[in-house]
Every structure is written in structure tokens, then in C-alpha cells.
Structure 1
Amino acid sequence: MASAHAKTTRPGEIVRTLVMGIWLPAIFLAGLLGAFLPAFHHPTPHHIKIAVAAPPAATAQLQQRLDTAVPGGFTLRSVDSAAEARSAVLNNDAVAAFAPAPHHAQLYGAKADGVALETMVRQVFTSAAQSAGATLDFHELVPTRPGDTLGTSPFYLLMACTLPAYFLVVTMQRAVGFGRRAHVATLVGGGAVAALACYLTGAYGMDAIPRHPLSLVYLFLLTQSVSLTSYGLVSFLGPLFPGASVTLFIMLSVPSSGGTVPVDLLPGFFRFLHPVLPMGNAADALRNVDYLGERQLGRPTAVLCAWVALGAALIVLGYVKHLRRLVREARAGVTEYVSVPPAEDPSVELPEPVALPPHQHHFGEQPPMLTGRVGGPAGEPLPGVTITVTDPHGRQLVHTRTDRHGEYAATGFHDGFAVVVAGAPGREPVATRLLLSTETPPVNQDFVLMPHRPAVPGHASSH
């Protein structure tokens, strides 16, 4: 038999619960189907730059034949000699160089631009040479590093920087006893550790990226672009920030990065995103450091620094917004207080405000936000006193008792005002209103409980 006190769940509440539970998986589904699949399912060349060691007229004829075979796939540029064509590849002004000849045409490529891209260029120009009655000799000008035979190892190192940077922001939302400065310091320190681990693994463990300090710098800038921007979004999007971060730094960044499918083979939308999002710029920076002698680093450096600056600006604006809210609450009193839970990834269960042992704080545990001592009028400690913390609307947050020293501690509160009540049998209860914040040191609130005053006969009110 159902309890008479059982609550009936309304359809609107069911819908809201379902929406809050499935919105992030829905973003992953939409991203995989709407971004990864279109980007990767059919790589097609788009205006791939080729230097041709031939007169302009012959180059124009070859361009016409290629446009017929692969419309819009290649953009040919006539140069004076095969040496100049090779220099264009080495200077990253062209993806490949072609020197036509009656019997043995020459093709010069750069595997460092991407194995898939080089393979497609070889196939197309092999067919073009054969149609002209010649064979094609291929020469590799810019091979990949020994530990990067497929040209994709840097992509996985970039992923190893991006995902921990995002998840560190998510898990730091559990550290509600940490202030904003502690959060930011942890994000910077965690990013430095992740970048160093990726650098040592990729450069010394695998020989997949150059052993150059700039490689470490760009890996670190990528972690900060992701973590600081994600953390900055928390103040403005609240529990919805994971959706924005996942969309920006995973669903759009991965397919547009050029790490698995070269940029020249991606659809136009992802080619547009490549120079804008941080992962693509970090990929270009690593490649330029490795294969171009540190040339062409201006744009990747500027974009990555811009993302870091955006994250810092969002954090500062969020702090200003937080201060203004506290000022409004202080001026309006308790009636305007609305408890706002910290942002979270829906897969992570965040802690509620909890009581702590006053003298047993271990490494890794949340530090106390509220401490105090309860004593009698003579200063004697009062053990077993009930401490109740409520929000200004009376909703109970923490219920605990003082220890044998008359002390108590609690943490896990969200920034704002709270009411603390101390009471014990035979004692007059005492209550006070406090501002609790992760941005300030723990609040210490002591209480003195006076004995109940005996009722005086004859003073009872008569009606």
C-alpha cells in the first residue's frame, strides 16, 4: 500500500529531469554526427597549392586537366625551375612541387603536411603523368620524424593536453572549499604538469615531436586556452558550461585541427575554424617548430595567447559579477538570497555542505569554511551543542554537534549568506547571520550560551 505522504511526480518535473540528464550526451551525439562524420568520412582536396616548374601556358593546360578530374582540388603556380619549386615546398609555400618532363616527370612532396594529403597528391599527379605518356618519380623533401610515421602522433599529444585540461575544470568544481585563486593556480599547475608529461613522452619517449623548448611552450598554451576559458565560462553558464566547452574544444576543435585529416582535405567550415580554434593552432605551431625552422609562428602564437587572454578576462568578469551579487544581497537582506550551486559536469556528483571534525583535516580533503567554539558564560567548553546552518530561507544546510572541546567545523557552502544557530537543552539558543565565501579565509564564529532564565511567578500575561 502506498504511503499517504508519497509525492506525485508531475509530468513537467519528469521532462525537466530527463532534459538535465541527457543534454550533454545529446551534444556528444550531435557533435559526432554533425562534425566528426562530415569532416572525416570523405576527405577531398580543396585548392591544394602546387608549384609547377613549367611555363605559364603549360601550367594553365595542366590546371585545366586537373580541374576536370578534381574540380577545385588544386591551385597550380608556375615557377622558373625545379629548384624554385622545391624551395616552395621547403618554405611551406606549396604542398608539393611538380616538374613535368616528356618521359620522367618529377614530384616533390612533404609527408610532414600529412600522409593522407601526400598520398592523394601522388595519386592525382601519377594519373596526370601517365595520361601524358610519362612515368612519375617521387621525392620526399620533408619526411616525418622517426616516431611519427603516420604523421598523427602530435594530434594525440594535443588531445592528451586538451582532455585533462577540461576535466580538471570539472573536478575543481568539487573543491568548493577552494577560492577562485586556488582554482586558477591549480589549473595553471595542472596544465604545466600535463604539458610537461606530453612533451617528455612525445619528444624523448617517442621522438614524435621536436626536442625544442617551444614545443613545451605551445603544449602549455593549449592547456591554458582550454582550462582558463572553460573555467571562465562557469560564472556565466553555470551547470551548462560543459556543453560550451565540449563543443568548442572537442566537437569543433578535433575535426578542424588537421591532426588526423589534413586541413586541405576538410570541408570549408572546418577549414575556416582551423586558424581560429586553439587545437589547430597548437598543431600548426608544433609542425612549424619541427619542419620550418620556427618560421610562420606568428599566427599560432597570437591565437593561442588570445584564447588564454579570453579565459583570464572571463575569470575577472566572473569575479566582478560575483562581487556585485554579494553587494546586492547585503543591501537587500536575506529576502533576496538565492543559493546557486557550483557548475558541474552532469556525470559528476557534487558534495553538499557537510560538517567536519574540527581538528582532523587531512591532505586532499576540503578545508573548513566555517569554524567556531561554543562555551558557557564562564568560558567553559560546551560539548554536544547542536549547530544548525540554514540558508536565509530556512532550508537546512548542515546539522552537527560540538566536540568535547566545544568546537565545530563545516564546509561545502556556496558563496552567500547563511544563518548559524547554536542551541542546547537548558540554554538560550543564539543565532547569527554570516557571509560565507570561498574567496575569503574560513569564518570563525564563537557562541556563548546562557542558561535558561527561570520563569518569574506572577509575570505571566493574562488574556
Structure 2
Amino acid sequence: MATTDDGTRTTFLGEVKSAVTPHASLLVLGVLGLMIAFITSYTGAFHHPAPADVPLGVVAPPQVRGQLVGKLDRLPGSPLDPRALPSERAARQQLADRTIDGALIVNPRGSTDRLLVAGGGGASLAQAVELVVRSAEKAEHRTVRTVEVAPAAAGDSRSLSSFYLVVGWCVGGYLCAAILAISAGARPSNGHRAVIRLAALTVYALAAGLAGAIIVGPVLGALPGTFFGLWGLGALTVFAVGATTLACQALLGILGIGLAILLIVILGNPSAGGAYPYPLLPPFWRAIGPALPPGAGTWTARSLAYFRGNAITGPLLVLAAWAAGGTLLTLALSIFRKKGETPS
């Protein structure tokens, strides 16, 4: 038996029930579920990276081009998706456009060919393509020399700075939204409060985007590219993640934070193409990555840094869709909430 402050006696079981309420128990079970999902998602995405259908340009004399493309296409496990290209210039242009991830330039007068890769798009992907092509060339008694056409910067040797930059922005986005919500109740009680929260998130997103661009650029020299481009990307990424988190909270209350973590951290980060670009990920993560903010942000950051801003329209539209969708859902749920709901 135990005695409370007011002198009332209670049993140990009663103390347990008082300390761990049913509501808290459900939240703890939810956290356990998120932890299991985290382990499953990251382990599933990273435990066995292997190239699958990596776009590879092939520049070769007409008499051997078709045969070579066919052999590369029939490699065990289908690591490559080869396509014939008319010239090295076309191959370099497609690499710059991020249409292909490598290009094999066959030397018609010798036995040493060249493999063009873009390490700025992901060092692990460039290395994987090199290993596959070297093995295939060795079987044909030929050698290959690797040429970097879009190398990662000296301060970004593994081309991971863009990924960690975007992950930082995403973490800032959902933490800011969570703090704005739980500081005065998870669900906005009216449209005015929702607008104020979104306005505060906008100011924060601009500051967070600026801070990230300064750190990876002038301060650390880790990521080249346009400073204002990275600032804009950061602001959009932070706002998209924050608005999505506010929408989840408007929908589910405190449980919405868990939903946001599921979308952004558990599903979004391992599928973002950071440590292992999309062609190295299993099918599920490869499919969802481009549609989630971390993946769209990482792709855009690398394009801004190493590919002159090419191939960013789609990812920017993805981020804009999350930003707009989160904003509209937050406003709709707060304005048209059920009558009789207790204001937060």
C-alpha cells in the first residue's frame, strides 16, 4: 500500500494505472510501432544495395554497337539499361541532363575504352556502374578507363552533403511544425490560428533555408552551386515538410506527429537516394523516393550543385505539391472542424 499526498491510500496497481494512463500506453505502443518501422525501412533499403537497370549510354562503331548493347542488356541480374548513342557529345549531354548515369565510349582502334561517370550524382552509383562495366569488359578481353565528367567537390567526396543538407531541412521542418502545434494544442481551433502557424512556418522556412545554404557554401565549402538556388530549395523543402506536419496534426492531433515521422523520416530518408541513389535501392524504396520530400530535395540539391540545375522541374513540383497540399488541408481541417469540438 502507498499513501498519496492527501493521505489517501492506494495499491501499487493503482499507482501504475495513475502513472501510465491508457492514453499514454497507446502512445508508447505507437512509438514502438514507429521504431519497428524505422528498423525495417532502413535495413530493407540499405542491407543489400545492387544496381538494377542503371541507364548507360553506349557509343561504339556501328558494326559492333547493337551486339554490345545486347550483351550489356543480358548481364545477370539486369544491372544495366544500355542504349546506343550516336556520339560522345550526346553521351556527355545526357549525363549533364541526368538522363543516363554512365556512358561507355568504345575505342575502335584499341582495346582500352572509356567509361564516363558523374560522381556528383552519387559516388556509390558511379562505383557500382564502374564495377559492372569493368567486369563485362574483362570478359571481352578489353580494359576500361574511368573519366569523371561531373565529379563531386573536394569537400563533398562521397556526394552526401546534399543528402544531409536536405535531411537537416526536413528535420527542422517537422520539428518546427510540431512545436508550433503542441505549444497551444495540436489541432488549430480556428482558421486564424492555422494561418498564424503557417505564417510563422514561412518565416522559419526562409531562415532555415538561408542558414543551410550558408553552412554548406561559404562556411564549409561542402557543396558548390548557386547560393540563391539552394536557399530557395531549402525554404521550399522546410515549408513543404512543415505544412505536411501541420496537416497531419490538424487531422489526428498529437498522433499526427507520428504520421509525419513515418512519411518523412521512416519512408522518406532511406528512399531519398542519398547514400545509395535510386538504381541501387530495392523496388519499393526506388518507387516512393522521388515522390517524397527528402528524395525530391536531394535530387534537386545535387542537380543545382553538379548539373547546372538540370532535371529539377519534376522534383520541385513534388515539393510544391506537398507544400500546397499541406497548407490547404491544414486550413480546411481548422476552418471546417466539427461544431462542438473543444478549442485547443
Greater relative contact order (CA < 8 Å, ≥ 6 in sequence): 2
TM-score (ref. length: structure 1): 0.65
2:265 is the alignment partner of 1:218: no
Is the alpha carbon distance of 1:311 and 1:119 closer, same or farther for their aligned partners in structure 2, counting shifts above 3 Å? same
2:118 corresponds to which of 104, 110, 116: 110
Q: What is the CA deviation profile of residues 44-96 of structure 1, one whole-angstrom value per residue up to 9, with x for unaligned ones? A: 11111111112566344334544554322101111223333333323322111
Instruction: For residue 36 of structure 1, give the secondary structure of its aligned residue in structure 2.
Output: helix
Unaligned 5+ segments in structure 2 are: none
Equivalent residue in structure 2 for 1:157, among 162, 165, 170:
165
Is 2:14 the partner of 1:6? no
State the partner residue of 1:198.
212
Distance 2:282 2:26 in 1: 32
Preserved contact between residue 114 and residue 262 of structure 1 (Cα < 8 Å)? yes
TM-score (norm 2): 0.87
Aligned 8 A contact 1:109 1:142 in 2: yes
1:32-431 alignment runs, 5 A limit = 32-33=39-40, 35-55=41-61, 58-67=64-73, 69-101=75-107, 102-176=110-184, 179-207=193-221, 208-322=223-337, 324-325=338-339, 329=340, 339=342, 414-415=343-344
1:165 corresponds to which letter in structure 2?
G
CA distance in 2: counterparts of 1:276 and 1:75, whole angstroms: 22
Alpha-carbon separation, structure 2, partners of 1:281 and 1:133 = 41
Higher helix proportion, which one? 2
* Number of the residue aligned with 2:36: 29
Contact 1:209/1:215 (<8 A) preserved: no
Q: Report the equivalent of 1:394.
A: none
One-letter identity of the residue aligned with 1:45: P
Quick check: 1:59–1:76 contact (8 Å CA) kept in 2?
no
Q: Is the 8 A contact 1:126 1:135 kept in 2?
A: yes
Determine if contact 1:117/1:265 at 8 Å carries over to the other structure.
yes
Measure how far apart 1:121 and its partner are.
1.1
- Report which of the two structures shows the higher radius of gyration computed on alpha carbons: 1
Label 1:180 to 1:92 Cα distance change in 2 as closer, same or farther (>3 A).
closer
Distance 2:208 2:37 in 1: 29
* Aligned residue in 2 for 1:354: none
Q: Which amino acid aligns with 1:202?
A: V
Q: What is the one-letter code of the residue matched to 2:325? A: L
Kept in 2: contact 1:50–1:95 (CA 8 A): yes
More strand by percentage: 1
Question: What is the distance in 1 between the residues matched to 2:240 and 2:70?
Answer: 44
- The SS at the match of 1:255 is coil
SS at match of 2:150: coil
**Alpha-carbon distance in structure 1 between the residues aligned to 2:55 and 2:37:** 33
Give the match's secondary structure for 1:75.
strand
The question of whether the paired residues in 2 share the 8 Å contact of 1:154 and 1:209 is answered with: no
Q: Secondary structure at the match of 2:10?
A: coil
The DSSP-based 3-state class of the residue aligned with 1:106 is: strand
Quote the Cα distance in structure 1 between the aligned partners of 2:161 and 2:62: 39
**Alpha-carbon distance between aligned partners in 1 of 2:72 and 2:296, rounded to the nearest angstrom:** 30
Instruction: Give the 3-state SS of the residue equivalent to 2:299 in structure 1.
Output: helix
CA RMSD of aligned residues (A): 2.5
* Residue 180 (structure 1) shift: 3.0
Residue by residue over 1:343-390, the C-alpha shift from the partner in whole angstroms, topping out at 9 and shown as x without a partner, is xxxxxxxxxxxxxxxxxxxxxxxxxxxxxxxxxxxxxxxxxxxxxxxx
Q: Is the 8 A contact 1:55 1:79 kept in 2?
A: no
Q: CA deviation at 1:6?
A: 2.8
Identity %: 24
Residues 295 and 67 of structure 1, relative CA distance in 2, 3 Å threshold: closer
Assess if the C-alpha contact under 8 Å between 2:55 and 2:102 holds in 1: yes
Gapped regions of structure 1 (runs ≥ 5): 330-337, 340-413, 416-463
